[in-house]
Structure 1
């Protein structure tokens, strides 16, 4: 008997996804398929830069709000991202079409989604058809000049469980000084949830807003309270960004984001793969490295054991993807 496409999709969903999550994950899988065939937004490799500093989930209006507090920031300069989520941005950016540039690029990242987006480890248990019908054409980690996953070994915020931004800066400075890479991408987590900036400074566990801002908003917490926590997280990241800009010698450093964040606009929270302005409009700030070369690096990669999938799953859970 010939199996129809509907029967194939239905069987794949029923056998692989728990009932309570089927509708949500099916929608996400279909959006993933659609996005893979219709890329839009700016390809970063079409732009001129030496070092690209990514602040995960940073909205353009959030950067504008804090720009006056930093000499290296300008306000109002934006681009349209190629993704509404890291896994989408990664898949549209680190493609075989860009492989020549990627071979000369170092990636220093605090986000395990960088590997997940390349489809090599711990891909979610979505329906099989979402893998069969996507049109992603990504490179592999070894194609980068350097692929440094700081989230595996870097010091963690003891309350949020996510890698500290200073560790990413430390590894980025070391990488820029010691490798042959002509370009470097540095992917910070702030201002991504969980919002751990206040907790680590005050030496206390996360409160409900910091741990789950979306549930807080849906439960009646004011947007202003959640937004302020988000801005404080952004400032937490910018403190480490300032260190790298002060230290390294680079003609053009760009501060941007892989995608933005939605705080209930159009009834959407966080960053699903939807082409909303709040998710796709990101800052694009150009500055120059001061080259003081005074920072003393002290973090070295530790030996990575074989439990990569377990580590990815744990980090993804902390970031709200599980």
Structure 2
């Protein structure tokens, strides 16, 4: 059911109405809460899984020269929250440490949308690694924190979730068009507040991908074991959605186009495999309370970060 606010917004922004009709086709008509044909990343064989947020398969295949065997896989979700729920909900991932530049898992789990626990969570977005200029976590910061995590947890699977190539745009195009790193870009397009040529969005997206790939290589060459590079979902950059063909931007939930579901799956082994052991989740002190790693972040910090990344407004 839709409330009055949602109906008014759809009438004011016809793009949202068309998108919702397409979403109903992909989800309600086929009775699915996520893409059941997508890869179950937890069940796959890896020691380190590197997630590049919003990384399309075609862009990765064209721009990457990373070592390993590249395959095309299908994601379980068209946006991060859907991906997290489809892969992690209902699981105790006590053999895994989650190093993340995005607050999406924290936000959705603490709202009750995802029920999952890791051995430890390292919220880089809550640490000094947040870049106030571009409102994101830089790739170099993520590499540094991931390397420390391997040293701290040598017998755990490591899940490293970069923001890039997801906007904000951190390359030259982002500097030329600051609206690409200070606005909710895709919402601004929906409301006709932003109307740049598609080539600008695509150039900014490619620059973000180019910015993160050298740092991914650094991790692959440093961390021993079997490493997989993938994405939580892809990105629409002006291609037409279906069944109603209209130009789509961003990564709306429940829209199962190739641009959103086709993701890279690059496998590479560097030296011996790590011995993985599951152990109870860690706890740490926070004020007068002791709780899991994921419950110690101030709520305003979480909302500020999500607003910077374009999820709240």
**Shorter-chain TM-score: which interval?**
0.7 to 0.9
The alpha-carbon distance between structure 1 residues 307 and 150, as it changes in their structure 2 partners (threshold 3 A), is: closer
Deviation (angstroms), 1:235: 1.4
The structure where strand makes up a greater share of residues is: 2
Rate the CA distance shift 1:177–1:241 in 2: closer, same or farther, 3 A. Answer: same
Q: Does 1:321 align with 2:301?
A: no
- Residue 208 (structure 1) aligned with residue 202 (structure 2): no
Q: Is the partner of 2:42 in helix, strand or coil?
A: helix
Match for residue 214 of structure 2 among 226, 239, 248:
239
Report the 3-state secondary structure (helix = DSSP H, G, I; strand = E; otherwise coil) of the residue aligned with 1:44: coil
1:54 aligns with 2:51: yes
1:225 corresponds in structure 2 to: 200
Per the alignment, residue 64 of structure 2 pairs with 67
Deviations 1:208-265 (A, max 9, x none): 3455554579765332332121111011111221221121112x10010000000121
State the shift of 1:67 in Å: 2.1
For the structure 1 residues 32 and 216, does the alpha-carbon distance in structure 2 shift closer, same or farther, using more than 3 Å as the test?
Answer: closer
Structure with more of its chain in helix, by fraction: 1
Match of 1:157 among 131, 149, 158: 131
Consecutive unaligned residues of structure 2, counting only runs of 5 or more, are 241-246, 273-283, 288-294
Match in the other structure for 2:115: 139
Cα distance change of structure 1 residues 160 and 303 upon mapping to structure 2, 3 Å threshold = farther
Please name the residue that 1:126 is paired with. Answer: none
Question: Which residue of the other structure, out of 49, 67, 75, is the alignment partner of 1:81?
Answer: 75
The yes-or-no answer on 1:272 pairing with 2:252 is: yes
Q: 2:9 aligns with which of 17, 20, 26?
A: 20
Distance 1:39 1:309, change over 3 A: farther
Q: Distance in 1 between matches of 2:73 and 2:96?
A: 21
Listed as ranges, the gaps of 5+ residues in structure 1 are 1-8, 124-135, 292-300
> Using a 3 Å threshold, how does the CA distance of structure 1 residues 82 and 38 change in structure 2: closer, same or farther?
closer
Q: Is the 8 A contact 1:104 1:183 kept in 2?
A: yes
**1:53-73: per-residue Cα shift (whole Å, max 9, x none)?**
0000000011011124x4x26
Task: Give the conservation status (yes or no) of the 8 Å contact 2:124–2:130.
Answer: no
User: Which of 255, 269, 272 is the aligned partner of 2:229?
Assistant: 255
Relative to the length of structure 1, the TM-score reads 0.73
Do 2:173 and 2:204's aligned partners in 1 also have CA atoms closer than 8 Å? no
Tell me if 1:169 matches 2:155.
no
Distance 1:222 1:199 in 2: 12
Tell me: CA distance 1:257–1:38, structure 2 relative to 1, closer, same or farther (3 Å): closer
Q: 1:110/1:37 Cα in 2 relative to 1: closer, same or farther (>3 Å)?
A: closer
For 2:290, the equivalent position in structure 1 comes to none
TM-score by length of 2: 0.75
RMSD of aligned residue pairs (Cα, Å): 3.5
Total equivalences in the alignment: 275
The 1:306–1:145 alpha-carbon spacing in structure 2 relative to 1, beyond 3 Å, is closer
Give 1:19 deviation, angstroms: 4.4
Q: Tell me the alpha carbon deviations over residues 69-105 of structure 1, each in whole angstroms, 9 at most, x when there is no partner.
A: x4x2655x21000110000000011132x43xx1101
Residue aligning to 1:182: 156
